[in-house]
């Protein structure tokens, strides 16, 4: 077959496929907005019946209202009946069905139909909130690519992300999203990590730096070595955390749900009494008695109260996820604003977790030469302090020396020969304690009091130099602690460092208190002591040794770049180790709790006002319907403000 013929024959198939896709897309949209469409159709039918009630016959009018009842109320009636059968308890949906049927039974077809219409609209609005939260997840899932370009030598092949293994090399071109977590082994670029951290400013990446699935490669091709399977990436953890949070209910929501069943039964009993008692007690006519009983059935329904919490909670969780704060459930989001004290791990949480050289002192005239020798020797060691010195030397662009007879004395230091001379690098005891602390007129004591770790260098003539290193405080730590203290929260640092270092770091951060030389079990003990003094205590950490304390606290907060154990144990995760977002999370929690209180107070006030007005016989059925259902829509809209 010629290429033209193939093209012609494939064209109809392509058109059919595109047509099916459009139909599928249309069907999915109709399904997603089914409740809203049904409510609108119901409203149109009810409006038609009301406008033509003087023109059409009575059976036709009633038929239109019944059609409006069925179309508008089907979804909620189905939900109410299914939940009643499953839970063996009455719910607010059943109460509204009874109210609508009750109104119709005494001839108030229009009011009953309007009740169904507004109830359907409020239900559609609540479903929109749920769908909005689900769309947050769907949009996250859509971000992660399904395919990757795997490279092996000169060969390249496109494979599904699930086929990638740890150690595979993939090529990520400019404009593409990173398919899986890994480390750059070739090239440099800028990445948009907004999907992970919530920060819109691109981050520069080069050899040896981590990249995360779902982030956008902006301006350079890079080769990445895979470090995690596709189902264990940070991106997948975010999705799992948000899904888990959406399904977990807050204490307030659980209380309202328990309260709902009892309340509905009480309302039905009171309505049953109301249908007889006023006639005999107050001399009301039977028509007025039954009419007031039906209005009571409408206005006493706790629709607004039930809708006060869930939309607000889901909106807040979605807002947090979009801004790099992951809540594992509404309960943690609700509890966060009640925190009175927060304990912080030091290394990797308040500090960067990597020591850097802060000061260097050498014998007169030997600075550059000595530093190049020290850097050359420390290249042969894997100790974190040695690596920090090497990085410092590389930044200076120093020459490299050949190193001989390198010996690592565990816990003390190293010895080596360079240019035929013997050198020692390490602790004061290793190079000679008295000489070390006498160097530069006792400078070591001053540096140690500043929380710095000291490394001494000696040769045959004595102390040759001193290098001071420190795990530097994060740039945003002071700002985060200051915001927490302004919020009236007591802060304490828990660290395994010795007293001097702990005191210096705590002072620099602005922490209220500190506890030094803490083992993992000591951190748990300190968190328990805090809980004896404060009702709600938080713990922030990133390491395996922090996990027990995270579990002990009322609210555990893990840094996003922390260990898997810390991430799994914590209740809240701050992506990209962004400490100030703790204060943002507190603000979000406070705002959510405030909106929930507003909703609850407002809904109860409206119910009480409507009930009293009904007993005073100043409320009619239409106003009762509008007042009751209008309050429900208002509390849902108030909760949706948290999406912003």
Residues with a catalytic annotation lie at: 345
How far is the CA of 146 from the CAs of 24, 136, 142, 162, in angstroms?
A: 21, 18, 9, 8
Determine the straight-line distance between the first and last CA of the chain, rounded to whole angstroms: 58
Structure tokens at 344: 């912080």
Q: How many CB atoms lie within 10 A of CB 152?
A: 9
Q: What are phi and psi of 471, to 5 degrees?
A: -80, 105
Cα 579 to Cα 572: distance, rounded to the nearest angstrom: 12
Beta strand 572-574 with 555-559 is parallel
Contacts of 538 (CB under 8 A, 6+ apart): 336, 339, 341, 342, 343, 553, 554, 555, 556, 557
Contacts of 588 (CB under 8 A, 6+ apart): 316, 319, 320, 325, 333, 642
Which 3 state secondary structure label does DSSP give 538? strand
Rg of the chain over CA atoms, in angstroms? 34
| Alpha-helical regions (H) of 363-512 | 367-378, 384-396, 428-431, 433-438, 443-449, 477-486, 499-509
Unique residue bearing structure tokens 């045959």? 460
Range 100-109 burial, b when 16+ CB lie within 10 A, else e? bebbbeeebb
What angle do the packed helices 234-247 and 109-143 form, to 10 degrees?
160
DSSP assignments along 166-202, one per residue: TT-EEEE-TTPBP-S-EEEEE--EEEE-HHHHS--S-
Strands (E), 239-292: none
Q: How many CB atoms lie within 10 A of CB 285?
A: 10
Strands (E), 206-307: 210-211, 216-217, 222-226
Strands (E), 450-534: 453-459, 462-473, 490-494, 513-515
Range 174-188 burial, b when 16+ CB lie within 10 A, else e? eeebbbbbbebeebe
Beta strand 537-541 with 555-559 is parallel
Structure tokens at 19: 């047509």
Cα 472 to Cα 110: distance, rounded to the nearest angstrom: 71
136: left (phi over 0), alpha (psi -120 to 50) or beta: alpha
How far is the CA of 34 from the CAs of 31, 124, 168, in angstroms?
A: 5, 8, 45
Contacts of 457 (CB under 8 A, 6+ apart): 362, 370, 374, 423, 424, 425, 431, 463, 464, 465, 466, 467
DSSP assignments along 42-73, one per residue: HHHHHHHHHHTTTTS-HHHHHHHHHHHHHHHH
Task: Give the residue from 49, 30, 31 showing the smallest Cα distance to 117.
Answer: 49
Structure tokens at 404: 């001989």
Long-range CB pairs of 93-96 (<8 Å, 24+ gap) are 94/264, 95/264, 95/267, 95/268, 95/297, 95/301, 96/301, 96/303
Q: How many residues does the chain have?
A: 644
Q: What are phi and psi of 571, to 5 degrees?
A: -95, -25
């Amino acid at each position: 077959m010629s290429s033209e013929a193939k093209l012609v024959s494939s064209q109809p198939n392509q058109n059919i496929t595109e047509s099916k896709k459009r139909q599928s897309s249309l069907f999915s949209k109709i399904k997603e907005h089914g409740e809203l469409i049904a409510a609108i159709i119901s409203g149109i039918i009810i409006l038609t019946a009301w406008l033509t009630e003087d023109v059409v016959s009575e059976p036709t009018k009633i038929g239109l209202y019944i059609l409006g009842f069925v179309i508008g109320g089907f979804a909620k009636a189905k939900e109410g009946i299914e939940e009643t059968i499953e839970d063996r308890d009455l719910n607010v949906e059943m109460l509204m069905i009874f109210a609508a049927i009750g109104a119709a039974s005494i001839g108030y077809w229009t009011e009953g139909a309007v009740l169904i219409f507004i109830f359907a609209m409020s239900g559609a609005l609540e479903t929109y909130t749920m769908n909005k939260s689900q769309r947050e997840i769907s949009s996250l899932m859509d971000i992660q690519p399904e395919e990757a370009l795997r490279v092996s030598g000169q060969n390249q092949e496109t494979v599904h992300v699930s086929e990638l293994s740890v150690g595979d090399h993939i090529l990520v071109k400019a404009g593409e999203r990173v398919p899986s977590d890994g480390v750059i082994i070739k090239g440099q670029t800028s990445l948009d990590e907004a999907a992970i951290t919530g920060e819109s400013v691109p981050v520069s990446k080069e050899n040896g730096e981590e990249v995360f699935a779902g982030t956008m490669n902006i301006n350079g091709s890079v080769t990445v070595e895979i470090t995690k399977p596709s189902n264990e990436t940070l991106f997948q953890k975010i999705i799992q955390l948000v899904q888990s949070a959406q399904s977990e209910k807050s204490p307030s929501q659980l209380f309202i749900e328990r309260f709902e069943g009892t309340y509905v039964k009480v309302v039905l009993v009171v309505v049953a009494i109301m249908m007889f008692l006023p006639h005999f007690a107050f001399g009301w006519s039977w028509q007025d008695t039954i009419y007031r009983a039906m209005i009571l059935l409408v206005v006493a329904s706790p629709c607004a109260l039930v809708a006060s919490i869930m939309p607000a909670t889901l909106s807040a969780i979605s807002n947090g996820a979009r801004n790099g704060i992951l809540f594992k459930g509404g309960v943690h989001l609700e509890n966060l604003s009640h925190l009175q004290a927060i304990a912080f791990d030091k290394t990797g949480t308040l500090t960067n977790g990597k020591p850097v050289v802060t000061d260097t002192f050498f014998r007169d005239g030997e600075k550059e030469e000595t530093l190049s020798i020290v850097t050359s020797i420390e290249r042969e060691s894997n100790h974190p302090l040695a690596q920090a010195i090497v990085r410092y030397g590389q930044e200076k662009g120093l020459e490299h020396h050949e190193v001989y007879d390198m010996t690592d004395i565990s816990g003390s230091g190293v010895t080596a020969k360079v240019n035929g001379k013997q050198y020692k690098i390490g602790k004061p005891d290793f190079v000679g304690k008295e000489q070390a602390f006498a160097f530069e007129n006792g400078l070591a004591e001053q540096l140690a009091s500043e929380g710095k770790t000291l490394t001494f260098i000696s040769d045959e003539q004595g102390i040759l130099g001193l290098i001071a290193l420190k795990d530097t405080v994060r740039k945003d730590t002071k700002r985060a602690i200051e915001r927490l203290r302004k919020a009236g929260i007591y802060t304490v640092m828990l660290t395994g460092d010795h007293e001097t270092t702990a005191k210096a770091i705590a002072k620099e951060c602005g922490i209220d208190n500190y506890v030094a030389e803490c083992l993992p079990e000591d951190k748990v003990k300190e968190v328990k002591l805090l809980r004896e003094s404060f009702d709600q205590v938080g713990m922030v950490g990133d390491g395996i040794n922090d996990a027990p304390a995270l579990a002990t606290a009322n609210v555990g907060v893990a840094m996003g770049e922390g260990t898997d154990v810390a991430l799994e144990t914590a209740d809240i995760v701050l992506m990209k180790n962004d400490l100030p977002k703790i204060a943002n999370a507190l603000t979000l929690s406070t705002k959510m709790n405030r909106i929930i209180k507003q909703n609850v107070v407002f809904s109860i006030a409206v119910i009480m006002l409507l009930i009293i007005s009904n007993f005073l016989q100043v409320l009619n059925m239409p106003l009762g319907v509008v007042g009751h259902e209008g309050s429900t829509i208002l509390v849902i809209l108030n909760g949706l403000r948290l999406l912003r």
